[in-house]
Chain A
Amino acid sequence: MMKDNELVFSDDDVVRSVREGNTRNFEILVDRYKKKIVIFIHRMIFDYDEAQSLAQDVFLKVYESIKKYKTQNNFQAFIFTVAKNMTLNYIKKQKRVLLFSGLLPGSEEKIFHSRETQHHDVEKSQQEEMMTAALKELKENQRLALIMKVYLEFSYKKIAEITGWSIPKIETLISRGKSDLKKRIILRQKLQDNGSLNVLKVRET
């Protein structure tokens, strides 16, 4: 029997309730995880509107496949596995679109064209812009591991559960990710100082 204080119930309790037909209780899971899911997807694809839309799809997919979830107290890993897969599929699709559009004359659109036009009130400092640009240039796996560690504060073990990667691999990805970010920021700062920030291609040393 559900009580008013939803915090008393674990994710598994809520899942069981939803499976029994109490669909309304799925809202509890949505409220619990929406912030982290949106943050994760937004940091991966750099498009706020698309991140919202994709996040909604993630929850719908989770609802559809809720019977596949084994109630072993790892719902967080389950939902983020769905989010990770859908986000990476989205990025792959965008790359294919870009590859195709790149064949057309005059097409210079980047993969992550930020359409955050609704958030002009958020003034981006140059530092923020440089960091965002550097983050975009990271390899997907590095970016994914960094985001899960830095923004979601997942342990290496949790990241391993979600991604299927080994812990040494995760450690390497995060370490190299931070190192690459640092190099790219330093390079951009130098280019900015020299007035040559148009050079966007950063070669790894």
Chain B
Amino acid sequence: MTNILKCNDVQRYLNRYQDNELEPQLRLDVESHLQYCQQCSAQLLQLEEVTASLLQLPQQEPAMNFTARVMADVNKKKSSQWFAFPSLLYSLVFIIFCLLGFMLNPYIRPQAAPVIPTEIMIASNNTPMVSTIAGYSDILTQSRDLNLMGIQDKTLEMVYNRTGSNGNNGNNGE
């Protein structure tokens, strides 16, 4: 059973009707209308003429060797991917070896300079003082030229004098 449609409605549906995109019932309704409506039929004819003109344009086929050319490109791509992987691997191995060499080489590793993170107590009588730092007993020689007053965290020239005692004059520089 079909529904009766008005021209306004049908003209809205004509494009979808021509493109076969209408639901079955609606398609029947439009067809029923077209059977007796010349105006809408003429409009449909115009749409069909445009489509027919488009389809009459000459169609260009792919070239004879199209597939062969594509597959040549594809195989080239595949080969380049295959070669890329080992070269990346080799680069990675090389970098790892360099890093290992750097870490294991004792000559490269810098010698940590002894640091004396302490305030230096300068004896007023200009006598050598002993500063105890983390278990070390050192005799620090004061020199006016060196101007050691207030020096912190600086590497000094040390003279180790093992006097058989801790050499601790009660001044603990910590």
Residue positions of A touching B, CB distance < 8 A = 23-24, 26-27, 30-31, 34-35, 38-39, 42, 48, 51-52, 55-56, 59-60, 63-64, 119, 122, 124, 127-128, 131-132, 135, 146, 149-151, 155-156, 171, 174-175, 178, 181-182, 185
Contact = CB atoms under 8 A, between A and B. Distances in A.
Nearest to B14: A175
A48 B61 CA distance: 9
Given A59-B74, A174-B15, 5 more contacts: A30-B67, A51-B60, A60-B77, A151-B54, A171-B21
Interface string B57-83: 111111100110111011101100000
B51 A150 contact: yes
Given A51-B60, A56-B73, A182 B50 contact: yes
B60 A30 contact: no
B77 A64 contact: yes
Given A155-B21, A156-B21, A174-B15, A59 B50 contact: no
Nearest to B74: A63
Contacts of A35: 61-62
Contact of B54 (A63, A135, A156): A135
Is the contact region of chain B dominated by helix, strand, or loop, or is it mixed?
helix
Nearest to B55: A150
B53 A52 contact: no
Is the contact region of chain A dominated by helix, strand, or loop, or is it mixed?
helix
Nearest to B76: A60
B46 interface: yes
A52 B73 contact: no
Nearest to B54: A150
Nearest to B48: A178
Contact of B73 (A60, A146, A171): A60
